[in-house]
């Protein structure tokens, strides 16, 4: 679609809140609509675009601005761009909003208690709370929740499918999509662009 309007959907939230899960589902919805689309996932970008950066505030900001730089290039070339880094600092998110323009901020909400008790398969939150890991976002490093995002999805009360539906509705309301119909049902092939686990069949592994 040569006349496709580019835009960026920027998912932000704590580690484990569900950003990559919803982003992956949205990617397939965009594909089903014939849109050019790309995902910039936090962990994948760190491996390929921001290798060597640490987790100081300066390095975190640099990483997020690099993601924003690429997202801006994609957006202005008509790509439906999906970003899902933690992006803990409001100032850098706002800087990317100003840079990109067509920017839809989606706050993926889950509390620290929920994540540490029920979504901590590697035990990282528990180690951070115990002081064994330093500089962990949401524990001893700040996470600044968006004050006026275009959308909040609460993954403690919504299923991934419900969160996806809410994102599609928001994009229709904002004029980026014509329909909020969910077009892809069932298991989805892994995009290869997020850090979600992939099954031997090539599908995204559904987490319990």
pLDDT digit string (tens) for 163-184?
999 999 999 999 999 999 999 9
Residue 195 is predicted with a pLDDT of: 61
Q: What integer best gives the mean pLDDT of the chain?
A: 89
Q: Which alpha helices (H) appear in the chain, and where do they start and end?
A: 19-32, 42-48, 57-76, 90-100, 112-118, 124-129, 160-173
Cβ pair 70, 49 in contact under 8 A: yes
CA distance 12 to 43: 13
Token pair for residue 93? 């998110």
Q: Comparing 120 with 192, which gets the higher pLDDT?
A: 120
- Give percent of the chain with pLDDT exceeding 70: 88
Q: What is the pLDDT of residue 207?
A: 58
Residue 144 CB: number of other CB atoms within 10 A? 13
Cβ(100)–Cβ(75) below 8 Å: yes
Question: Of 28-32, 124-128, 151-155, 193-197, where does mean pLDDT reach its minimum?
Answer: 193-197
DSSP-derived secondary structure letter, 198: B
Determine the pLDDT at residue 73.
Answer: 96
pLDDT over 60 at 4, yes or no: yes
Sign of CA dihedral 198, 145, 57, 40: positive
More confident residue, 53 or 197: 53
Position 1 scores a pLDDT of 43
For residue 51, is pLDDT > 80?
A: no
Structure tokens at 92: 């850098």
SS3 88: coil
| pLDDT at residue number 56 | 82
Condensed to tens digits (0 to 9), the pLDDT of residues 181-202 reads 999 987 776 766 666 666 656 6
CA distance from start to end of the chain: 37
Alpha-carbon distance of 145 to 13, in angstroms, equals 7
Is residue 15 within 8 A of residue 123, CB to CB? The reply is no
Q: Find which of 42-46, 120-124, 202-206 is predicted with most confidence, using mean pLDDT.
A: 120-124
pLDDT of residue 196: 63
36 versus 48: the higher-pLDDT residue is 36
Query: What span, in angstroms and rounded, lies between the C-alpha atoms of 58 and 140?
Result: 16
Catalytic center residues? 87
Say if strands 151-154 and 103-109 run parallel, antiparallel, or are unpaired: parallel
């Amino acid at each position: 679609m040569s006349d496709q309007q580019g835009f960026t959907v920027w998912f932000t939230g704590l580690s484990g809140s569900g950003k990559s899960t919803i982003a992956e589902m949205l990617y397939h919805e965009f594909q089903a609509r014939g849109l050019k689309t790309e995902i910039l996932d936090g962990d994948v970008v760190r491996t390929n675009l921001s290798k060597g950066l640490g987790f100081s505030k300066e390095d975190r900001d640099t990483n997020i601005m690099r993601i924003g730089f690429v997202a801006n290039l994609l957006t202005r070339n008509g790509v439906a761009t999906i970003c899902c880094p933690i992006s803990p600092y409001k100032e850098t998110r706002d800087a990317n909003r100003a840079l990109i323009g067509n920017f839809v901020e989606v706050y993926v909400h889950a509390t620290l208690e929920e994540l540490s008790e029920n979504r901590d398969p590697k035990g990282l939150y528990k180690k951070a709370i115990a002081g064994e890991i330093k500089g962990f976002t949401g524990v001893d490093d700040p996470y600044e929740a968006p004050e006026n995002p275009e959308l909040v999805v609460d993954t403690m009360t919504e299923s991934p499918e419900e969160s996806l539906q809410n994102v599609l509705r928001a994009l229709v309301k904002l004029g980026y999509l014509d329909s909020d119909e969910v077009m892809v049902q069932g298991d989805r092939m892994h995009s290869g662009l997020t850090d979600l686990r992939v099954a031997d069949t090539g599908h995204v592994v559904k987490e319990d």
